[in-house]
Amino acid sequence: MSAYLDLAEPEPEAATDGVWLTCIECGERFAPFDAIRYTCDDCDGLLEVRYADLPTWDDFGGGSPESGPYGVWRYAAALPFDEGVSLPEGDTPLHYVPGLEEETGVNTLRVKHEGMNPTGSFKDRGMTVGVRVAEKVGVDRLACASTGNTSAALAAYGARGGMETLVLLPDGKVAAGKVAQASLHGARILEVDGNFDACLDIVQNLAERGEAYLLNSLNPFRLEGQKTIGFEIMERFHADEGTYPDRIVLPVGNAGNTAALYKCFRELREAGAIGEDDVPKLTGVQAEGSAPMVEAVEEGTDEVRRWEAVETIATAIRIGNPVNAPKALPGIRETGGTAVAVSDDEITDAQRSLAAEGVGVEPASAASVAGLRKLREEGVVDADEDVVCLTTGHLLKDPDAAYEAGSKPEPVPNDTEAVLRHINDSRSVVETVRRGGSKAADAPLLALIAGGLGLAYLYRKLRSNE
Ligand code: F0G
């Protein structure tokens, strides 16, 4: 396990305005903006942004969640700058989901919908900080590898900051909405004949050669923005429920968010803003076809084995080599959390259930709810727990998956009477679909099966009377 995750270290000479970078593997410390570096010069370990002063609740906005400013920059006291290249981002809803709360049988269930950010995913929180750093270090070409959302956010924030953007995508494996965003915001899109991990290898090589500034979550400043998800959850949940959540369940791909949330909790602990018992259990969810983190958690190893072949409907988390694992695995373990893998069918089911409560998410996001369901069934999550599920991207990101999971349009004649007849004829089907998600959508099929069984029974009965 990484040795240098403890935040209690003296401010080094290298610090600028109380900010520096520490290698989590060897403890070496660096100036934050004097050179472009993504990993440790000495051992290539992951870097973490550190601060001489860690803020507490009173330092955020007016000290109450009701008082602005809202969004990522409300938490400027915990970030390296006072403001960034902003659209603006953050301040996403923490939805009540009474139906799912009852069904999963936990004490409280809230859904933090990160799909409500400007480009429709949590990546915007990282980009507002990351693109600000790019300005500071004086680069003008930004690049990332992406399963789609990072590329959409990079393209939008790069455009906002007036910088050139280059995105590397796994050919044919990125949802339509995300490619459309990257394209319209003016990114140069390179489709690689390989998966996300191969794209990341290439873009890292380009960045090392000084061809572009890397804005994947390997860049420690991205995670600073993303840790504000944690601040928002803790503040809002406490204001509404009078306590902090016991557990946060989130989808895991490159494990950047898991790492960012763990950093948020370590900082709040170090600042004395929360106690040890207040830290939520970080619980990661991956798709069965792409679950190297789950494998490492189950086997209790520190090394995450790279999966070369990965596949899932949740293309956003179709990742076999989670680069932030050295930061995220300790987060899962130290907070008493766990990791679980879910099938594509379970993901689609959860996507429908969220949609039935009005919360539209892309498949990767629904993995969190699918994971919670599974962990409740397995008895890992208790009935008395207060849980937050993170939904990371908006439904419209992947219109094809949404269409496949949803009810289908019905062709009708261009005539009011005919439309009325059609509605009344199919009312029973429409009503069941409206009433309840996935199982309801199977109602016509179930009716057919039941009818078939009935006929078979009658036929056998007649034959036996002959
Ligand atoms: N959910 C969504 C919708 C995502 O787009 C991603 C990652 C994740 C979850 C996983 O988050 O990597 O922090 O564990 N998408 C990246 C991308 C890889 O390129 O858009 P993580």
**CA dist., res. 249 & res. 111, Å (int):** 10
For ligand 1, say whether the CB of 391 is within 6 Å of any of its atoms.
no
Q: At what angle do helices 363-377 and 344-355 cross, to 10 degrees?
A: 100
Low-confidence ranges of the chain (pLDDT < 70): 1-2, 428-466
What's the confidence (pLDDT) of residue 263?
98
Sheet hosting strand 29-30, strand order edge to edge: 29-30, 19-23, 47-51
Greatest alpha-carbon span in the chain: 98
pTM of the model: 0.92
**CA dist., res. 53 & res. 361, Å (int):** 37
What's the confidence (pLDDT) of residue 431?
52
**CA dist., res. 428 & res. 296, Å (int):** 48
261 CA distance to ligand 1 centroid (A)? 14
**CA dist., res. 36 & res. 130, Å (int):** 12
- Short-list 116, 119, 110, CA closest to 369: 110
What's the confidence (pLDDT) of residue 444?
46
User: Helix count (H) and strand count (E) of the chain?
Assistant: 17, 13
Sign of the alpha-carbon torsion through 4, 264, 292, 117: negative
201 CA distance to ligand 1 centroid (A)? 17
252 CA distance to ligand 1 centroid (A)? 7
**Residue 425 structure tokens:** 């004829």
- Asked, as a colleague might, if the bond just before 399 is cis with ω within 30 of 0, I would say no
- Short-list 363, 415, 368, CA closest to 389: 368
For ligand 1, say whether the CB of 251 is within 6 Å of any of its atoms.
yes
Phi, psi dihedrals of residue 214, rounded to the nearest 5°: -80, 125
Residues 366-407 pLDDT 10s: 999 999 999 999 999 999 999 999 999 999 999 999 999 999
**CA dist., res. 96 & res. 117, Å (int):** 18
| Sequence-ordered list of residues with C-beta below 8 angstroms from that of 8, at least 6 positions apart, any chain | 270
Per-position DSSP letters for 165-183, written without gaps between them: EEEEEETT-S-HHHHHHHH
Q: Quick check: helix, strand or coil at residue 340?
A: strand
What's the confidence (pLDDT) of residue 269?
98
451 CA distance to ligand 1 centroid (A)? 44
Residues 231-257 pLDDT 10s: 999 999 999 999 999 999 999 999 999
Residues 36-93 pLDDT 10s: 999 999 999 999 999 999 999 999 987 788 888 999 999 999 999 999 999 999 999 9
Pocket test for ligand 1, best of 121, 192, 196, 224 (most atoms within 8 A of CB): 121
Q: Which residue, judged by its Cα, is nearest atom 13 of ligand 1? A: 256
**CA dist., res. 309 & res. 292, Å (int):** 11
Q: Are 150 and 144 in contact (CB under 8 A)?
A: yes
The dihedral over CA atoms of 444, 446, 452, 458, expressed in degrees to the nearest 10, equals -120
**CA dist., res. 91 & res. 46, Å (int):** 28
What's the confidence (pLDDT) of residue 63?
77
What's the confidence (pLDDT) of residue 279?
98
For ligand 1, say whether the CB of 256 is within 6 Å of any of its atoms.
yes
CA atoms within 13 A on the CB side of 9: 23
What's the confidence (pLDDT) of residue 449?
45
